[in-house]
Amino acid sequence: MQYQKCSLDLYVDFFIASQKQYSGLELSRVSPDPMAHDAVSRWLSKEKLTPKMLWHESQYLIDPNAGYLSIDDSVPDKPYSHEIPLVKTQYSGKHHGLVKGIDIVNTVWTDGVKIIPIDYRIYDPTHDGKTKNDHAREMLTMAQKRGLRPEYVLMDAWFTSVGNLKAITHHGRKWIGEIKSNRLVSTKMNQYVPVKNLDWTNKIVRKVWLKAYGRIVVSKIVAPNGDIAYIATNDLSLDDAETIKTHYACRWTIETFHRGIKECTGIERCYSTQERSQRNHILCAFLAFLKLEWERIQNSISWYEQKWSIPRLAVTAYLGSNA
pLDDT in tens, 249-308: 999 999 999 999 999 999 999 989 899 999 999 999 999 999 999 999 999 999 999 999
pLDDT class for 26, splitting at 50, 70, 90?
very high
Read off the pTM: 0.94
Which pLDDT score is estimated for 83? 75
Q: Is residue 2 helix, strand or coil? A: coil
**For residues 317 and 31, what is the distance between their CA atoms, to the nearest angstrom?**
19
Question: Taking 60 as the threshold, does the pLDDT of residue 1 lie above it?
Answer: no
Region 49-68: mean pLDDT is 97
pLDDT tens digits, one per residue of 65-124: 999 999 999 999 887 777 788 888 887 777 777 888 999 999 999 999 999 999 999 999
Region 209-234: mean pLDDT is 95
Which pLDDT score is estimated for 115? 98
Q: 113 — phi, psi (to 5°)?
A: -120, -60
pLDDT tens digits, one per residue of 145-193: 999 999 999 999 999 999 999 999 999 999 999 999 999 999 987 799 9
